[in-house]
Amino acid sequence: MDILNMPIVKEYLRTATQLYNHGWAERNGGNISMLMDGDFSDMPVLRTIPFSFDAADMIGRCIMITGSGKYLKNVEADPENNIALLRICDGYAELLWGLADGGKPSSELAAHLLSHSARLKADPSHRVVMHTHATNAVAMTFVHSLDEREFTRTLWGMATESIMFFYDGVAVLPWMPCGTDEIGIATAEKMADRRVVVWAHHGVFGAGSTPDEALGLIETVDKAAQFYMMTAHLPVLQKINDSQLKEMAAVLGITPRPGYID
């Protein structure tokens, strides 16, 4: 099978470069995973990779994911060394393609697999989970309350289109060590009913049906956060109020997260 000529894989590779160009993927920061549709049963197993968390819901699924310690800026130029195609089994993954230099999948594998499981239950069209160090969203976690309702309301109020694209709200996790099963489990719990999870002082997880959609969602959150960071220290003379948020939701035909608008 010609993995690299699949249109969705080309989009995946291009998105990795875009994350780096945004300045959101310094060194080995950030990772992307994508559920792969299709029959990969004829591909030989190159090696197996054990993991310690329960991903029973994902057994049999194939997933493309960036490698641990890999730089997103190198993914498009050298995909075979920087990403992996895995088939998920009970307690381990089978490497079907990639990581040719002997590397491992992202250290955030738990967060990705468990988040995919959670999002599929909410949205059968779900395919992509993306983690990146979105600059303004991370900066906002240092100066804004981490209360999810207040965090979301602030972002909704900063840009007219915010409520359109993340009407389900933004989840926020307090600082936790990254690369652990614990942060993966906590992220997946939030992903059960939201598509964006902010890791305080670290980064953002976003989900979507395609790499473009997941990236666009995070871009929308970060732009609203940028507006907040540019204006938080200034006198606010006018803003998008709750009445206007309700009006916008009615125009769009969407239902904002219950209890988030007064």
Give 114-167 pLDDT, tens digit per residue. 999 999 999 999 999 999 999 999 999 999 999 999 999 999 999 999 999 999
- pLDDT of 79 reads 98
* Residue 177 within a domain: yes
Within a domain: residue 261? no
CATH number at residue 243: 3.40.225.10
Domain residues for 63? 3-252
Distances in Å between the Cα of 81 and the Cα atoms of 21, 68, 211 are 20, 11, 20
Q: How far apart are the first and last CA of the chain?
A: 53
Residue 259 belongs to some domain of the structure: no
Is residue 260 in a domain?
A: no
Over residues 55-80, the mean pLDDT reads: 97
Q: Over the stretch 225-235, which tens digit does the pLDDT of each residue have?
A: 999 999 999 99
Q: pLDDT above 70 covers what percent of the chain? A: 100
Q: Which residues neighbour 189 within 8 Å (Cβ) at sequence distance 6 or greater?
A: 118
Mean pLDDT of the chain: 97
pLDDT at 207: 98
Q: Is residue 187 part of a domain?
A: yes
- Give the span between the Cα atoms of 60 and 201, in whole angstroms: 35
pLDDT at 1 over 80: no
Q: Is 11 a catalytic residue?
A: no
Please compute the mean of the pLDDT values over residues 206-223 and round it to a whole number.
98
SS3 82: helix
Does some domain include residue 262?
A: no
Q: From the centroid of its chain, how far is CA 261?
A: 25
Catalytic member of 108, 161, 213, 247: 108
Does residue 49 lie within any of the structural domains? yes
**Residue 166: its pLDDT value, please?**
98
Would residue 258 count as lying in a domain? no
Number of structural domains the chain divides into: 1
